[in-house]
Amino acid sequence: MTLAIFIVIAAVLALGVILSLAVSQHLQAKKTADLAGAIRPIDVEAFRNLIDPAEDAYLRSCLPPPAFRTVRRERLRAMAAYVHAVGANAAVLVRVGEAALAAGDPRFAAAAHQLVNDGLLLRRNATIALLRIYVALAWPNSGFAAERVVERYEQVSSVAMLLGRLQNPGAAVRL
């Protein structure tokens, strides 16, 4: 019966997760009006500075190893916070793109489709980058590269701007 109890607990947990995700996703799908407000601004320059290998090399040469590891961990935590925000923004942009696709306006279809795909790629890269950051937190001396996240973020931002410009020509003038 031990196995049965274990399986029953697992099944109840699975049911709980499925129901909570279903409810949250169902509610989320109805709240597309507030999507734009969910986007958090990202300081790309500060992020670039954080992931710059030259900065790390400079700190490594200046600081004793224990102090370097402490500083490196602090920088990695800050990096994780940035990447987390980038991933969250990517998810919002995917939903913005899907909402634009669902509206069925052929003028926005191409830009919206590109935004969805680029957003999904960014989301994937952000997840991978987060995993690498957490690994690097355990081994602060290891090398780390998150440039792809920055590149992808720039690409998605430009696509989002293109879609925004198509949907709201008035704003495009100001850009």
Residues of this chain that bind other proteins (CB under 8 A)? 1, 3-4, 7-8, 10-12, 14-15, 17-19, 21-22, 24-26, 29-33, 35-37, 39, 41-45, 48, 90-92, 94-96, 98-100, 102-103, 105, 108, 112, 116-121, 123-124, 127, 154, 157-158, 160-161, 163-164, 167-168, 171, 174-175
Least distance to other proteins from the beta carbon of 23, Å?
Answer: 10
Minimum CB–partner distance for residue 167 and other proteins (Å): 5
Q: What is the 3-state secondary structure (H, E, C) of 28-95?
A: HHHCHHHHHHHCCCCCHHHHHHHHCHHHHHHHHHHCCHHHHHHHHHHHHHHHHHHHHHHHHHHHHHHH
Q: Which amino acid is at 79?
A: M
Task: Tell me how far, at minimum, the Cβ of 66 lies from other proteins, in Å.
Answer: 33
When the beta carbons of 36 and 67 are compared against other proteins, the nearer one is 36
Task: Give whichever of 1 and 138 is closer to other proteins, judged by the CB atom.
Answer: 1
Based on CB atoms, which residue is closest to other proteins, 23 or 62?
23
Quote the crossing angle between the two packed helices 65-103 and 44-51, to the nearest 10°: 140
Distances from the Cα of 32 to the Cα of 38, 43, 68, 111, 170, angstroms = 10, 25, 45, 18, 21
Select 12 or 57, whichever has its Cβ closest to other proteins.
Answer: 12
